[in-house]
Amino acid sequence: MPRAALMSIPQPVPPLQNTSLLQILHAAPWFPGLDAQQQARVEADVSERFVTGGAFVARRGSTIEHWMGVIEGLLKMSNTSAQGKLATFAGMPDGAWFGEGTLLKNETRKYDVIALRDTRIACMPRATFEWLLGRSISFNRFLLDHLNERLGQFIAMVEYDRLLDPDARVARCLGSMVHPLLYPGNGSSLRIGQEEIGNLAGVSRQRVNQALQRLETEGLLAIDYGGIRIVDLEGLRNFDA
């Protein structure tokens, strides 16, 4: 099929792959550092929730009672102003864990969390989260590193939202989704569609299409049916049109 024809059709939403809750827990970067008792309690206490695409996982102002991880799917953190202006803070693919800052500060959520496609979520109760905080040095170290990486990501997002053109915003958006600590479920191949990229980067689907073609021409990525393969990660992260 010619490249132009391939790029003009919507990329399909990847189906859920039946990854088990235990699999996502054992794959989490913080889990191996727990001792046997701590691992057993996590396995017993963490539950699973299913959210359909387009639905809210959590709303701004809601009380937080769980630390959450994405088993399969794609979420976004965002807020909408009273004037209808949307600000997207982060996309969260398979393996991402989020909400620790709100739990640590014991405050209501400051942003909406929305499912961009059907998504399965792991939910660790607040009591279990706080129990680990009081007993596991490795868990505390993970949270420290995680919060530091998330802060760096948010600072970069402020930069590209204010300073970069759409091509660079798409490039930086894709580059940010390959991160071994924040998104251990993602490798160099991203199961993501153009509409989802537009939601995360804050540009139209048509503009995403143009940006992807340019980034592919420049050798930074390869477009596959149903996703994108990252060829030059640092090039995407530092792309500036």
Tokens representing 155 are 């600072």
Which of 229, 238, 165 lies closest to 202, judged by CA? 165
Domain containing 9 equals: 3-237
Query: How many domains does one find in the chain?
Result: 1
CATH code assigned at 108 = 2.60.120.10
Which of 225, 235, 143 lies closest to 181, judged by CA? 143
pLDDT of res. 88: 76
Count of CB atoms within 10 A of residue 11's CB? 21
- Report the C-alpha gap between 193 and 6 in whole angstroms: 13
Provide block-wise average pLDDT over 10 residues at a time, the chain (241 residues).
36 61 93 97 97 94 94 88 72 91 90 93 97 97 93 72 80 88 83 87 89 94 86 90 65
Which of 49, 56, 48, 53 lies closest to 22, judged by CA? 48
Which of 147, 146, 144, 171 lies closest to 160, judged by CA? 171
pLDDT of res. 153: 77
pLDDT of res. 6: 34
Check if the beta carbon of residue 202 is closer than 8 Å to that of residue 169.
yes
End-to-end Cα separation, the chain, in angstroms:
29
